[in-house]
């Protein structure tokens, strides 16, 4: 049975309602951690604070560089707009043929089903949409237009639900979207991208799991950025989905001062692998406005992934990707070990960087 609060619907919804949404709501020891209340307030006014109470229990406020707090507490550095940064770094608006559908690759489309999230990650690429406070979710007429577009474009075989976070929608609403997309014959595979299992794992209740199961094949791509996010509650949420036969993968955003460390990433990806969650992508941070303090130089990112390949098996190492500015798309980087073509073959670097001859007739 799904536990219910007395009158207010599911437990997760109550937890979501009680999330911190204003700096003034935060306990004073957390405000003290930031050491810059005006900066926090100013950044909150551009992209509001939102963090479930439970997520903050993962933090260590004795650590002035705590990675968990760094991801969720607004900071003055967000007000800096560094060179190359923009509100729409991936040129998604240009690839939006109907509202809330991004069609950038021939065979896949992204549906931005809601602008709401269970948390506001300070490094978010879609700050321009998340928490904009207009019509916050896909409407019935919007869904009809999207279904029409999908029918007119049978080359789209995979539909990715994103946002915002699709799993903050009421289950019935999500179910309606999923089942209507599933009925388009050319759509073969569904995917849901979500940070909910990391930040509001109570949301992954039996009712939700059943709704996802009913429209398989559906991949759930979760988003964990730090091993501390994998506490027992998050692990249970992942198990509930895995046990129901939903294939799980994970995306991580590479973040300076949070996870730009081979020990942290090796622990994160190793533990995800143990939980049967395949590390899929490690994202180089997009050029969203106000995120420069989280950016890791690409050269370091490549070095980190090579180090991971020495430490972990292939099933635990994600692909490092950069999403090229302006909508040119995601491409893997740092994978190529070919040094150069030589007589009768190639020189290929081994994992320690030593060139080895590989014959190729
Ligand atoms: C990332 C993305 C996808 C999915 O790409 P995969 O490489 O299959 O994970 C699809 N559409 C858009 C617009 C995207 O940004
Ligand atoms: S959950 Fe995803 S969409 Fe929402 S704020 Fe975080 S990164 Fe952005």
What are the pLDDT digits (tens) for 93-138?
Answer: 899 999 999 999 999 999 999 999 999 999 999 888 887 766 689 9
CA of 354 to the centre of ligand 2 (A): 40
Secondary structure E strands in the chain = 101-105, 108-112, 158-162, 189-194, 218-223, 248-253, 278-283, 319-324, 329-332, 338-342, 345-349, 355-359
State how far the Cα of 3 lies from the Cα of 161, in Å rounded to an integer. Answer: 27
pLDDT (tens digit, 9 = 90+) per residue, 206-246?
999 999 999 999 999 999 999 999 999 999 999 999 999 99
The two structure tokens encoding residue 339:
């040094």
Residue with CA nearest ligand 2 atom 7: 124
- Alpha-carbon Rg of the chain, whole angstroms? 21
State how far the Cα of 10 lies from the Cα of 257, in Å rounded to an integer. Answer: 35
Q: Which residues pair with 316 in a beta bridge?
A: none
Handedness of CA 266, 272, 275, 278 (dihedral sign): negative
Secondary structure E strands in 78-128 = 101-105, 108-112
State how far the Cα of 347 lies from the Cα of 328, in Å rounded to an integer. Answer: 30
- Tell me the mean pLDDT in the region 182-198: 98
- The closest ligand to the CA of 91 turns out to be 1
State how far the Cα of 94 lies from the Cα of 60, in Å rounded to an integer. Answer: 42
- Tell me the mean pLDDT in the region 315-328: 94
Which residues are within 8 A (CB) of 21 and not within 5 positions of it... i.e. 6 or more apart? 48, 49, 50
The two structure tokens encoding residue 215:
């429209």
For residue 164, give the ligand 2 atom closest to its CA.
3
State how far the Cα of 320 lies from the Cα of 254, in Å rounded to an integer. Answer: 9
- The closest ligand to the CA of 168 turns out to be 2
CA of 108 to the centre of ligand 1 (A): 7
Is 126 a catalytic site residue? yes
CA of 281 to the centre of ligand 1 (A): 11
Catalytic residue among 55, 121, 122, 195: 121
Is 219 a catalytic site residue? no
Provide the percentage of residues in the chain whose pLDDT is more than 70: 97
Structure confidence at residue 6 (pLDDT):
52
With a Cβ cut-off of 6 Å, ligand 1 is lined by 102, 104-105, 108, 110, 160, 330
For residue 118, give the ligand 2 atom closest to its CA.
1
120 lines ligand 2 (CB under 6 A): yes
State how far the Cα of 224 lies from the Cα of 103, in Å rounded to an integer. Answer: 25
Structure confidence at residue 1 (pLDDT):
45
pLDDT (tens digit, 9 = 90+) per residue, 140-156?
999 999 999 999 999 99
pLDDT for residue 42 is more than 80: yes
The two structure tokens encoding residue 256:
């300076």
Question: Strands 278-283 and 218-223, how do they pair?
Answer: unpaired
Is 176 a catalytic site residue? no
């Amino acid at each position: 049975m799904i536990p219910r609060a007395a009158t207010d619907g599911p437990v997760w919804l109550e937890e979501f309602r009680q999330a911190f949404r204003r700096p003034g709501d935060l306990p004073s020891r957390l405000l003290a951690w930031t050491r810059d209340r005006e900066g926090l307030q100013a950044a909150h006014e551009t992209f509001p604070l939102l963090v479930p109470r439970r997520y903050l229990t993962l933090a260590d406020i004795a650590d002035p560089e705590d990675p968990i707090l760094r991801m969720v507490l607004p900071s003055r550095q967000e007000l800096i707009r560094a060179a190359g940064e923009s509100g729409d770094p991936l040129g998604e608006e240009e690839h939006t043929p109907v509202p809330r559908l991004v069609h950038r690759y021939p065979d896949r489309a992204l549906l931005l089903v809601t602008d709401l999230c269970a948390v506001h990650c300070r490094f978010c690429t879609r700050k321009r949409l998340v928490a904009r406070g207009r019509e916050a979710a896909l409407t019935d007429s919007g869904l009809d237009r999207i279904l029409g577009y999908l029918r007119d474009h049978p080359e789209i075989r995979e539909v990715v639900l994103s946002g915002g976070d699709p799993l903050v929608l009421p289950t019935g609403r999500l179910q309606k979207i999923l089942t209507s997309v599933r009925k388009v014959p050319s759509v073969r595979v569904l995917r849901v991208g979500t940070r909910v299992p990391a930040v509001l794992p109570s949301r992954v209740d039996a009712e939700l799991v059943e709704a996802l199961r009913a429209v398989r094949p559906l991949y759930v791509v979760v988003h964990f950025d730090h091993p501390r996010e994998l506490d027992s509650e998050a692990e249970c949420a992942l198990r509930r989905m895995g046990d129901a036969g939903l294939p799980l993968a994970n995306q991580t955003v590479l973040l300076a001062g949070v996870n730009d460390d081979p020990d942290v990433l090796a622990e994160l990806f190793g533990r995800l692998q143990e939980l049967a969650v395949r590390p899929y992508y490690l994202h180089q941070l997009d050029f969203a406005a106000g995120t420069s303090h989280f950016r890791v130089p690409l050269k370091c990112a490549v070095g980190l992934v090579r180090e991971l390949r020495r430490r972990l098996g292939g099933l635990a190492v994600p692909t490092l990707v950069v999403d090229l500015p302006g909508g040119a798309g995601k491409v893997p980087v740092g994978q190529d070990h070919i040094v150069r073509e030589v007589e009768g073959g190639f020189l290929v670097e081994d994992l320690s960087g030593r060139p080895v001859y590989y014959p190729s007739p």
